Structure 1
Amino acid sequence: MAARPMARGSNVELTREIPSLTGVVLGVRFASSESVLMDNLVVATLLCDARSRVLSDRHVVFFNQLVEPDLSVAQLERVVGTDTEQVEVDLAGVPADVARIVVVAYINEALGQRRTLGQLREASVRVLDLRDSSELVRSENLAPSLRAETGLVLGELYRHTTGWKFKVVGQGYANGFEGMAADYGVPL
């Protein structure tokens, strides 16, 4: 059964509601009739400290670096189901200094190609239980509000006093990965 869509800015206390939850899969789905756009769309996962700053360049998980140093967050090479990309997170294995796991997407070389995220029909993120792939959370379709953006923060999994929470973000960036890198302290 699919979860009810969550709006931008809403969050859910995952481990408080499901105390036995030990791992999740963050699934990202995009749809567009523009194949060039889809071929140049990159999903990255940023492991951040309590100040929302990436720990190091080794803590950015994407197609060129499928796992972070502690092996607790990994982008899957083969996706299960209808997601475009999937990232597996071992909640207990996430290092204590990681406070946020932020899922972003951007268009690789967007300015030269004149592509924008406004060409997407669908952009969403969801959280699956790693044990049985049941859908726990999914965002609303974030695509309708996108226009000239070339980068997007989809959602974030973050530590809270009660355990792990997930928030739908949906923040677009007109300057793509460079803008997100500046905000999250990603070394370029």
Structure 2
Amino acid sequence: MTINLQKGQRISLKKEAPNLTRLMCGLGWDVAKKAGGWFSSSPNFDLDSFVICLDQNQKLTDKSDIIYFANLRHSSGAITHLGDNLTGDGQGDDEQIIVDLPKVPDRLSKLLFLVNIYEAQKRNQELSQVDNAFVRLVDLNNNQEIARYQLSGSQYQNKNALILGEVYRHDSEWKMAAIGEAFLAKGIGDIAKKYI
């Protein structure tokens, strides 16, 4: 049974999915309604999902530890981004990231799952304008959804980036926390600087 996460809520992945080894983080959103009707030239919303891998000191020590549309696979093979969706068209997940937990290098203790709007400031776009956005975790051993977190809402006004959640090591097990922290950023590189 899926857990509908609230901001700040933490769950034990071992407890919720005892045999979990491979998980999929799926992100979905609906195309924002364009102002001005049929003839509007407003660009689609392009949300980019990505993972920042942090060490035991909560630091990003290598740019290759950012998994996103221009670096689709971690060097360890533990994390794979399945590609960029530029519009949000279609049902279900628009972007997916696969994590093979046993392959995550010991030097990494936290995987931050984030999303930002590509060229948000140039396009005058913010997260409060995105419809029906969500993030979900799925156990790939049985394709069962473990947890889901809804992202849409007015609390994301004037924000274009969001820490969705984190999967982190605690003693000998993996846990997950819904973060829901929104902020303004110029892009993935700007966000990554916060962890250097």
Aligned residues: 181
SS in 2 for 1:51: coil
SS in 1 for 2:27: strand
- 1:36-75 equivalence runs, <5 A: 36-38=43-45, 40-75=46-81
Aligned twin of 1:160:
170
SS in 2 for 1:71: coil
Residue 18 to residue 43, structure 1, CA distance change in 2 (3 Å)? closer
Report if aligned partners of 2:114, 2:165 keep a CA contact under 8 Å in 1. Answer: yes
Residue 100 to residue 5, structure 1, CA distance change in 2 (3 Å)? same
In 2, Cα distance between the equivalents of 1:9 and 1:110?
26
Q: 148, 160, 163: which one pairs with 1:138?
A: 148
1:19 equivalent to 2:13? Answer no
Q: Which amino acid aligns with 1:27?
A: G
1:97 equivalent to 2:101? Answer no
Range 172-181 or range 86-95, more displaced: 172-181
Structure 1 residues not aligned, in runs of 5+: none
In 1, Cα distance between the equivalents of 2:181 and 2:29?
16
Range 81-90 or range 4-13, more displaced: 81-90
Identity across matched positions, percent: 25
In 2, Cα distance between the equivalents of 1:153 and 1:8?
11
In 2, Cα distance between the equivalents of 1:60 and 1:71?
13
SS in 1 for 2:77: coil
1:82-115 deviations in Å (ceiling 9; x for gaps): 1111110111000001111111111222211111
1:181 equivalent to 2:192? Answer yes
In 2, Cα distance between the equivalents of 1:74 and 1:17?
23
Report if aligned partners of 2:17, 2:146 keep a CA contact under 8 Å in 1. Answer: no
Computed over aligned residues only, the root mean square deviation of the Cα atoms, in angstroms, reads: 2.0
In 2, Cα distance between the equivalents of 1:111 and 1:33?
16
In 1, Cα distance between the equivalents of 2:117 and 2:130?
11
Residue 179 to residue 63, structure 1, CA distance change in 2 (3 Å)? closer
In 2, Cα distance between the equivalents of 1:105 and 1:42?
5
- What TM-score do you get using the length of structure 2 for normalisation? 0.84
Structure 2 residues not aligned, in runs of 5+: 35-42, 86-90
Q: Which amino acid aligns with 2:192?
A: A
In 2, Cα distance between the equivalents of 1:133 and 1:76?
17
In 1, Cα distance between the equivalents of 2:137 and 2:100?
13
